[in-house]
Chains A and B, each alone.
Chain A
Amino acid sequence: MPFAFNPVRRLAVCAAVAAGLVTGTAQAAEMTGAGATFPYPVYAKWAEAYKAKTGVSLNYQSIGSGGGIKQIEAKTVDFGASDMPLKADDLDKNGLVQWPMIMGGVVPVVNVPGVAAGQMKLNGKVLADIYLGKITAWNDPAIAKINPELKLPNQPIAVVHRSDGSGTTFLFTSYLAAVSPDWKSKVGVNTAVEWPAGIGGKGNEGVANFAGQTAGSIGYVEYAYALQNKLAFTQLTNHEGAYVKPDSASFQAAAANADWKGTPGFHVVLVDQPGKASWPITGASFILMHKSQAKPENAQNVLKFFSWAYANGGKMAEDLDYVPMPGPVVKLVEGVWSKDIKSADGKPVWPAK
């Protein structure tokens, strides 16, 4: 009988040793991060390419922005990621530094018979009134007036919003508050709000699903989800009153016109930005790190990865319908790294040698 067990046992020992080796090397060069789900696909793609090139792997857990903030405050990860920028006070209080890593746009999507992608025009006030439950049918004069070329049905509007807290909701409500005083006073801005109307879907895919199959619905999703699910996104008026369609060009226009330099902690919410070509609901996803680093070599590894992503990740980001950060903003960010992130004994961590 012992002979029968022997090969099995030997195999098991080999496997255990091999597993030990694998995890051993992985721990030697692994960065850890946690947070926002929205940028997860592009972070994962960058990490894959970066590992193939350098052997350094990233363990990123997309547990949500709220979770990411908590984890970085507790120092259980090398960096946190959040779709909603922290205010300068909160950053100082926890000794954190924050910068924008990647951008995307939020687009309203509609499911109205006979209306294709990009055909319907909406403005901020009408969108806010729909979400406030004041406009309840598609043939409402307010919608018909700005869409004279569309034949709108007498159909109730099914308002779809996010049921979970989300950076997407933060951007969307920021925009509605910027353009509608009513929204600002009655509902406000947050990653989750008390919705006056509508049904909630979990995640971008939940909203995309409801909007895709409920006739007469309107929802808001990240641009990538609208494209992947072939949803009919709308045009919107921007700060200059011009109708724009959502695409990378209009997202980048919004980012280019933003005042990154003069805003402490890069606390820039790219809604309702100036510029005739700017898409009005654009936003960045942010990275959070501690200013004082107990393990400077870890921090250096992480910054090397982000620097590489800024320099080489643009194409990968665009393939996934994200918008890379413009060059001048990257320069500002790397300046902040060398100025603010230091080892425990006060030596700057960046630029890495």
Chain B
Amino acid sequence: MAGEVRPNPPAEGRGGEIFPAAVLSVPDAVPESPEAAHTGLAERGFALLCRSAAFAVAGLLLAVFVVLGVNAAPALHTFGFGFLTTEVWNPVTERFGAVAPIFGTLITSAIAMLIGLPLALGAALFLNEYCPHRLRGPVIVAIELLAAVPSIIYGMWGLLVLAPFLSAHFQPFMTAWVGPIPILGALFQGPPFGIGMLTAGLILGFMVLPFICSVSCQVLATVDPVLREAAYGVGATTWEVCRNVLLPFSRTGLLGAAMLGLGRALGETMAVTFVIGNSHRISASLFAPGTTISASLANEFTEAVGDTYLSSLQALGLVLFLITFIVLAAARLLMRHVERRAAQ
């Protein structure tokens, strides 16, 4: 715009011929102007605010970690490394071990990713590549609404609808047909109550699905249209475009989407508590009840009596904190690795 107004564009400098020098000089050259001083103060104040916000977040994280560590110390001191390797969870004799909740947390999250990830990716690719334009908007809104459903609703649906269905149809079928197969069959043993690790994993899968899908959609949409057009232009099929253009160019973003989902699955509490059976035991069967770290905390914290019991529960919290931390760190490393390989 300035170019249009200027009668003689200056060959060099910042247009000193047109504007008075005072206006053009940098603010610190005119400290006596009250307006400029005000601007400087606001500027510094804003910077300070932003900085303290950032430090507050980091401080909060540190505080959570320290408090968990301090409160978990008595239990870790009593049980030592055995806390991480024993399955016993006995409030009567006050002996506690974290294996069953850790096992449950990891297995249910793994099932959730196994179910949620392919569905979410499939849906995202469909929405970006195959979906008629008019359908796209409504479907994306529906997926985002699904992400906004409170977790307790998923829990209730799991308990009242999914569990009876699994118990009446899916579980007897699997026990009869897959049960006799060695090794694989061990996953599908036990009475069909509809409550257990598998149900919890399924519910978690449905819960992470909209998260992963909605982020993946956005990630896929950022792939440069020129690349896509060019690929179609040289005669690639939609599958080939997805396989060779879209996925490679958005893999870091997709990995991030998956990690977001995994983070939610690891920490989800209410929905899992409804359907997992809340039992501190490990079983090879996916139909057997189990527990997760967050479900144990939600169930037992309010009524835990005794210092060892309370401390053990907080030690569980610390373990979850560390698991989440390790997962995020691993994701970061993986992403960096992928980016480096892509760059080569």
Contact = CB atoms under 8 A, between A and B. Distances in A.
Nearest to B303: A165
Interface stretch (A190-198, A231-239, A250-258): A190-198
A190 B306 CA distance: 11
B184 interface: no
A158 B298 CA distance: 23
Contacts of B92: 187-190, 193-194
A192 B305 CA distance: 9
Interface in A276-299: none
B300 A192 contact: yes
9 contacts: A69-B305, A163-B279, A164-B303, A165-B304, A194-B89, A194-B91, A199-B279, A200-B278, A202-B299
A66 B303 contact: yes
Contacts of B195: 199, 210, 214
B287 to A, nearest CB: 11
Interface in A187-243: 187-195, 198-202, 209-210, 213-217
B253 interface: no
B201 interface: no
Interface string A4-46: 0000000000000000000000000000000000000000000
B302 interface: yes
Contacts of A66: 302-305
Interface in B254-286: 273, 277-280
B179 interface: no
A195 B291 CA distance: 13
Given A194-B88, A210-B195, A67 B278 contact: no
A198 B305 contact: no
A263 B170 CA distance: 54
B193 A199 contact: yes
| Leading 8 A-B pairs by shortest Cβ distance | A165-B303, A200-B278, A163-B278, A156-B191, A199-B277, A188-B92, A194-B90, A64-B302
A200 B279 contact: yes
Contacts of A187: 92
A273 interface: no
A165 B279 contact: no
Interface stretch (B127-135, B139-147, B159-167): B159-167
Contacts of B160: 213
Interface in B81-139: 88-93
Nearest to A192: B91
Contacts of B193: 158, 199, 214, 217
